[in-house]
Structure 1
Amino acid sequence: MPFFHILVLAAIQGITEFLPISSSGHLLVIPTITGWADQGQTIDIAVHVGTLVAVVAYFRKDVQEIVLAFLRPTDSSRVEGRRLGWHILIASIPVVIAGGAMYYFIQGELRSILLVAGTTIIFGLFLGWADKNFPVTKKIGTISVLDSFVIGLFQVLSLLPGTSRSGITMSAARMRGLSRSDGAHFSMLLSIPTILGAGTLAAYHLIKMGDTDVGLDAVLAGVISCLVAFLVISLLMRWIEKIGFTPFIIYRLILGVLLLALYFAT
């Protein structure tokens, strides 16, 4: 694969994975818009692994606290880390079940420009509605089991390309009373088991098909997506309370309209 193609694909994955604008939707439509050959699952997995490394690196203190809390279950000083870890696990249950059941179906019939256009517009508007209509009533450290489970249920919708995993979980977090920054924080921590699970399932599928060749292209794509994603996470967490979701909603509406135009023009 030409280096420029790798650079574009990896950068877009790194930018869109944690912004509420859908990474899977972008990776799906790039080959259609540019005329490039589909990048294939190996590159898809590589760029997702890159973003996984980025989010673990950025939230390394939270990850360390959660891991130590579970390794030391009797340590009373690790209560908050243990509590956050359980909330992440609870929120991950719905998408693990749904993702495992729907994986092969989604890889086929649902990979369409029309679907991406529709979900991009609909869930962009939904994000704006949730942000506007639900006041901030709690912190990430005070969410309930019901809060985390509801956010997890909404995350199932991200199995539809174009929905945006981060966008739909941030929407659900706002509906449950979390601030933009706390919602983004929980959404990104929740991405760790989600990306890990999806990547493992996709890798298993490739191994089953006999495609185990991981070349320089995949390694390069993973490194680029990791670096870009780390920068994006840093900027988002720093500015989300100030800029809000409006720029992302406008972008989604414009992108959705352009995709509709592309679909009906071809």
Structure 2
Amino acid sequence: MNWFSAVVLGLVQGLTEFLPVSSSAHQRIVAALAGWPDPGAAFTAVTQLGTEAAVLIYFRRDIARIIVSWSKSLIDRDRRSDPDAKLGWYVIIGTIPIAVLGLVLQNPIETAFRDLRLVAAALIGFGIVLGIADRIAADDRPLTRLTTGNAIVYGFAQALALIPGVSRSGGTITAGLLMGYRREAAARYSFLLAIPAVLASGLLELTKIGNAGDNPAWGPTLLATAIAFIVGYAAIAWFLRYIATHRFTTFVIYRIALGAAVLALTGTGVLAN
């Protein structure tokens, strides 16, 4: 990986991580279109540390409040009914599915799941599901009404993002809409839920950066991660404002169009799988 491709892929990561369009799919597709090697699961996971740092800073007050309340609830039973304390537990519970499946499916995540045909099918299929959920959503349930069962559903929806093309935010937001949560509430919880999984995955994959073989070098990877942080911070603010007054129709159309284009390009041999 050279410095130019690192800049491009860092921009792609920052722009798409929080939108329901799948950042990992876009890194894979952009690299293929440019004729670059697949950046790989390790590079994707590490650059996600940049966008996750943006989440930590953007939601720093919410995160601090949740951590403090959750910590106090461990020794004070009266604090366990506090919405922030419960939200802390729900983030932990919702992280379990992706943690288990991520370990079990580590090999296909790095190989078979990155097949462009699968990526394209995921973009189309889950784009349609998002569109349906957006149309039938009650859009009236606040995050304070989150339950353990809902947290588990959110967790499995997030785990689907192990397949590039599904989208971590897209999967969890879709689940939230189907359960009746407001668009902003579903997106906010999606961002919070991703923190443990993304940090754990990124830190684990850090061990592969700079090693021999197809693994990316430290310099370009760090540059891409820094760019992803800067662009990602702006993307969070824009996305939360956008969904406050808009449906997800634009993203649904984009996902289907991109997926169809990738299928056509792979089917004609223009892009290699």
Pair 1:2–1:208, CA change in 2 (3 A): closer
1:31 aligned residue: 31
Residue-by-residue CA offset, 1:103-144 (whole Å, 9 max, x unaligned): 112211221110011000000010011111131342101111
1:238 aligned residue: 241
Aligned with 1:152 (options 141, 150, 155): 155
8 Å contact from structure 1 (residues 128, 249) kept in 2: yes
Deviates more, 1:116-125 or 1:233-242: 233-242
8 Å contact from structure 2 (residues 19, 169) kept in 1: yes
Deviates more, 1:95-104 or 1:39-48: 39-48
| SS of aligned partner of 1:19 | coil
| SS of aligned partner of 1:162 | coil
2:258 aligned residue: 255
1:50 aligned residue: 50
1: distance between equivalents of 2:175 and 2:116?
25
Give, as a single letter, the amino acid of the residue that structure 2 aligns with 1:215.
W
1:122 aligned residue: 125
Do residues 22 (structure 1) and 22 (structure 2) align?
Answer: yes
Give, as a single letter, the amino acid of the residue that structure 2 aligns with 1:238.
R
Pair 1:204–1:46, CA change in 2 (3 A): closer
Do residues 162 (structure 1) and 132 (structure 2) align?
Answer: no
1:45 positional shift: 3.7
2:111 aligned residue: 108
1:29 positional shift: 1.8
Pair 1:2–1:105, CA change in 2 (3 A): closer
Pair 1:116–1:198, CA change in 2 (3 A): same
- Structure 2 gaps of 5+ residues are none
Residue-by-residue CA offset, 1:225-253 (whole Å, 9 max, x unaligned): 00101100001111202121011011101
Normalising by structure 1, report the TM-score.
0.92
8 Å contact from structure 1 (residues 42, 214) kept in 2: no
Give, as a single letter, the amino acid of the residue that structure 2 aligns with 1:69.
S
Do residues 198 (structure 1) and 206 (structure 2) align?
Answer: no
Residue-by-residue CA offset, 1:76-128 (whole Å, 9 max, x unaligned): 56822211111111111111111110011221122111001100000001001
1:135 aligned residue: 138
8 Å contact from structure 2 (residues 70, 89) kept in 1: no
Listed as ranges, the matches of 1:3-22 within 5 Å are: 3-22=3-22
Pair 1:205–1:2, CA change in 2 (3 A): closer
Pair 1:166–1:138, CA change in 2 (3 A): same
Listed as ranges, the matches of 1:222-237 within 5 Å are: 222-237=225-240
Give, as a single letter, the amino acid of the residue that structure 1 aligns with 2:137.
F
2: distance between equivalents of 1:64 and 1:214?
34
1:40 positional shift: 4.7
| SS of aligned partner of 1:135 | coil
1:47 positional shift: 1.4
8 Å contact from structure 1 (residues 180, 240) kept in 2: yes
